[in-house]
Amino acid sequence: MKTAMITADENGIPAETLSAIREAGIEISCRKCMTEEELVSFAADADVLWMFGPNLALTPGALERLPKCKALFRSGSGVDALPLAKAAELGISVHNTPESIAESVAEHAVSLLFAMAHTVVEGDRNVRRGKWFDGLNFTRWHLTGRTLGLVGYGRIARHVERMVAGFRMKVIHFDPFVPDSTPLRELLAASDFVSLHCPLTPETRHLIGEAEFKLMKRNAILVNTSRGPVVDEKALIDALKNGIIGGAALDVTDPEPPEKDNPLLQMENVIVTPHIAAFSADFQKNFWRCSVEKLKSLSQTIP
């Protein structure tokens, strides 16, 4: 199997990772392709295109010019930036490694939830401004015994559910692909905290908008570690300004990074982190190990 890594040169991949791939009998070449023309020339004979992070060179037009390509593999979770429709049209399979980051993203989601519920960031801001208790509302939220609604019920959401078990929270979930799922409208109305874990697809773009915010409890917290466009950001800003929900903790925005004058950045009941949920002390180890395992698996199925 010939594999073309298209988002990094060879010195951007750990030597032990490259060795493990080659020892498995997989032929691999690496180049950070910046244009469609460069990608097509570099990967002309590749069975698999491997990538991580963004790559503007991988366009629908590029795929049409790569007749030998049988699979796209993106290390990590989201595949929304890939030319999925064209890949499906051409019979090219799409793969990722969500297991490599699931636990870390879940930890970050829970951290954001706890930080928001216990005004950790707001309190820190206060102290740094030379204040102490002034203006802080310590009585808005409590976790134990409350209801957490998970939108999407894949690996990450299930990790979140296990992590909050010690707080005796009632956990409900909405996922159209999971039996016995709670309808979204019912979940939003019942939940004290709502955490988003669905992929970005045409169906989930602006899944949470004005109508959905109006269904939520007035003191509810929204946590988003999925993709920014899953939320209608204008509707979120209006919901926060008008007290329709109580707060938001976001690792993703739309666009990224947010504009400097984005109202979310001025709100005390909002936490924003820079799309870092996947990163932890174990990120590199898990990321490359799962990548090698996925390539080995593909080599068993691609002639």
Nearest to 245 by CA among 174, 167, 193: 193
Strand 93-96 to 71-74 pairing:
parallel
Residue 228's identity, in one-letter code, is: G
- 206 an active-site residue? no
* Residue 113 near residue 249 (C-beta atoms within 8 A): yes
Q: How far apart are CA 47 and CA 65, in angstroms?
A: 13
Looking at 37, 89, 256, 259, which residue is catalytic? 256
3-class DSSP assignment, residue 151: strand
Active site residue 275: yes
Catalytic residue among 95, 155, 205, 275: 275
Of 259, 246, 229, nearest to 139 by C-alpha is: 246
Given 227, 233, 268, 293, the catalytic residue = 227
- DSSP letter assigned to residue 199: P
Angstrom distance (rounded) from CA 62 to CA 249: 38
Residues catalogued as catalytic = 227, 256, 275
